Amino acid sequence: MGAGSLRARAGRAAADSLICRIQRAPKFPNPTALALLLMQARRDDDPQAEAAQAAARLALDRMYEGGIYDHLRGGFARYAVDREWLVPHFEKMLDVNAQLLPLYAEAVARWPDAEHLRVVVRETLDYLVEDMRADDGRFFTSTDADSQGEEGLYFTWTPGLREPPLRDEKLLVAGNALLASGLARTASAAAAWGDPDIAVRATQLAQDLMDAVYTHHVAANGNVLRVAFGKAVAFRGVLDDVGLLARACLDLHELTLGPVWHERAAELAAHAMRQYAREEGDGFYFTAADAEALIERSECMHDASAPTGLAAMIEVLARLDAVDAAPPGARQLITSVLDRFRAAPSQPFAYASLIAAAMIAGPEARFVKLLGPAPDDRDSIAWATGIRSARLDRPWPVHLAYVAAPKVSAVLCVERRPAPLWASCATFSVRCEAHSLHRRERKRWLPARVGAR
């Protein structure tokens, strides 16, 4: 099947999915799909770029203006119970806010005059720190929808003080890893659009968070412990924990240039290859080989409220492989996984994170090996800042890895790439046709030349 056919199939399926999500209730944010739309919007050679941009901006604006966003406290509710983003289910989840925060931060770089996007970044960051952060830098899981036995009572406009909702104080590796990646991306974006306060704050939060996770959740033998509550840390980590933590290590390495984070990502990747890889070499199990024996070891392949561990591991292996730091067999595993899931573009909302990972493994991705005398060297920092800023307006993934060297220079890694055809051509295409939005929404939200088609 040719690239054009694959692109068309992905576009039709995504458009149908978009229509479904606009017209149904409840409505959940889909951060992985929005991230792909924003990337596609940067493709000058894609006839659907304008429609992708309109769809992404529509979703970001509507979520902010609706009740799903907490306009008093900051942060997003888990979902809206209606189809207009108006009435929230008042529960707030760490994983949802961890993914939406960097999306809004990166959207500011695309629409710098949209002040409400900056407001979301500042207020959501405040909410996470004030309501969800533990004393050691890790973050709790959620706050409840109920207060005094009634959903949403705490948020009603009535006189008198209300008892705040209960907080789920479990500390989960996967959720914290998602936030660490989100904070790293937010810091890079804020530096690009000129807010050093947010950039410095998000960087420090990410470092403190990852230091605490490694202190409490990663054993000397490399095993990841999934959950902490109080002083107890328990349960062997699943693939999501390992994959998302490894990705967070790479994201923090790109932000700080600290070699330890790249080394830890490589260690986690090797651990995943040993403990979670399928015998066939074409995927990963959800549980470790030496974990508690189950009737059957299952896989987790579709996105849910967070990216799947499979996609996270493919991304990690591809980023490590590009700079010759991946464990043995990584390249063949990437090829086998993407060949096995070559139909992913036909279900883009289910496989959004895997499509994104395939793009990182594909031939259009750019990897830069940054050489310099020290991570805190002024010139090294300047080069890294420029590279990170560049990816905000590039239509392909851009990543970097720091390597110690006497002088500052950069090497573009253009080696052979393992991904099959669909990884390079399966852009996430959503066509905002006239019938895909309510009439009043078309008039209000879409450019005339898009809404009038």
CA 103 to chain centre: 8
Asked if residue 302 is part of any domain, the answer here is no
Residue 47: φ, ψ to 5°: -65, -15
Residue 255 has pLDDT above 80, yes or no: yes
Asked if residue 376 is part of any domain, the answer here is no
Listed residue (303, 367, 301) closest to 99, CA to CA: 303
Range of the domain at 449: 1-90+431-453
Average of pLDDT values for 250-278? 98
Asked if residue 71 is part of any domain, the answer here is yes
Q: What is the DSSP string of 268-290?
A: HHHHHHHHTB-TTSS-B-SS-TT
Residue 437: φ, ψ to 5°: -130, 150
The residue to which tokens 């090996």 are assigned: 369
Domain count, the chain: 1
pTM of the model: 0.88
Average of pLDDT values for 309-320? 97
Asked if residue 451 is part of any domain, the answer here is yes
Q: Which of 25-29, 243-247, 339-343 has the highest mean pLDDT?
A: 243-247
The model's confidence at residue 426, banded by pLDDT at 50, 70 and 90, is: very low
Asked if residue 120 is part of any domain, the answer here is no
Relative to beta strand 88-89, strand 79-80 is antiparallel
Average of pLDDT values for 128-137? 97
Q: Which residue has the higher pLDDT, 451 or 441?
A: 441
Write down the pLDDT at residue 432.
Answer: 30
Q: Which residue has the higher pLDDT, 34 or 181?
A: 181
Write down the pLDDT at residue 422.
Answer: 54
Write down the pLDDT at residue 414.
Answer: 65
Asked if residue 342 is part of any domain, the answer here is no
Per-residue pLDDT tens for 156-169? 766 767 888 889 99
User: How far is the C-alpha of 254 from the C-alpha of 258, rounded, in Å?
Assistant: 8
Residue type, 368: V
Q: Which of 17-21, 236-240, 295-299 has the highest mean pLDDT?
A: 236-240
Asked if residue 396 is part of any domain, the answer here is no
Asked if residue 112 is part of any domain, the answer here is no
3-state per-residue secondary structure call for 325-391: CCCCCHHHHHHHHHHHCCCHHHCCCCCHHHHHHHHHHCCCCEEEEEEECCCCCHHHHHHHHHHHHHC
Average of pLDDT values for 6-20? 43
User: How far is the C-alpha of 214 from the C-alpha of 140, rounded, in Å?
Assistant: 16
